[in-house]
């Protein structure tokens, strides 16, 4: 077996271990869609909400703001948003009192896709949430909790 084949098998095995929702389970939830190769069950919420409103909206559908924790999910969101939206979209992540970004469950974010050309994150005192900007090549920006934006919910 070649090195490439071994790497592909490891990636597939890792994805299968991380995938806890099937297409069948995903589609039981009204308004959700499933991206098989990414094990991504999502619902795009076009209604513009502040951060807590987006969290609550996702919770009302038994889901969470999208958790972008690897390049595959980032790439998947780029394809989804290319067809749906032309502005900023909320994803899961809150900055604590320092420079540490955390998911809603308190775990530290390890994957980022900052818009470094736009000097992001600029870490202004009240910019403590994350968004993806389509107009900035789907790069991440830190933003205000109170700004009303569209969002993506995820079941995992």
Domain for residue 2, yes or no? no
Predicted model pTM: 0.85
Domain for residue 6, yes or no? no
What radius of gyration do the chain's Cα atoms show?
A: 16
pLDDT given for residue 15 in this prediction:
47
Domain for residue 115, yes or no? yes
Q: Tell me the residue range of the domain where 134 lies.
A: 21-155
Domain for residue 136, yes or no? yes
CA separation (Å) from 90 to 34, 118, 140, 141?
A: 19, 18, 10, 10
| pLDDT by 10s per residue, the chain, length 156 | 676 655 555 555 444 446 788 999 999 999 999 998 899 999 999 999 999 999 999 999 999 999 999 999 999 999 999 988 678 999 999 999 888 999 999 999 999 999 999 999 999 989 999 999 998 999 999 999 999 999 999 998
Domain for residue 39, yes or no? yes
CA separation (Å) from 48 to 62, 96, 154?
A: 19, 24, 17
Domain for residue 94, yes or no? yes
Closest by CA position to 21, among listed 75, 86, 67, 88: 67
pLDDT given for residue 20 in this prediction:
82
CATH number at 145 reads 3.10.100.10
Domains: count for the chain: 1
Chain CA centroid to CA 21, Å: 16
Domain for residue 60, yes or no? yes
């Amino acid at each position: 077996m070649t090195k490439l084949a071994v790497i592909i098998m490891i990636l597939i095995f890792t994805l299968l271990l991380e995938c806890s929702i099937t297409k069948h389970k995903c589609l039981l939830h009204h308004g959700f869609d499933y991206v098989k190769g990414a094990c991504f069950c999502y619902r795009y919420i076009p209604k513009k909400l502040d951060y807590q409103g987006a969290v609550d909206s996702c919770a009302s559908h038994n889901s969470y703001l999208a958790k972008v924790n690897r390049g595959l999910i980032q790439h998947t969101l780029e394809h989804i948003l290319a067809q749906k939206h032309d502005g900023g979209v909320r994803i899961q992540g809150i900055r604590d009192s320092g420079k540490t970004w955390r998911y809603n469950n308190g775990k530290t974010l390890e994957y980022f896709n900052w818009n470094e050309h736009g000097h992001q994150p600029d870490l202004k005192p009240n910019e403590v949430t994350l968004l993806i900007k389509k107009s900035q090549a789907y790069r991440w920006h830190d933003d205000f909790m109170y700004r009303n934006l569209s969002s993506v919910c995820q079941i995992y």
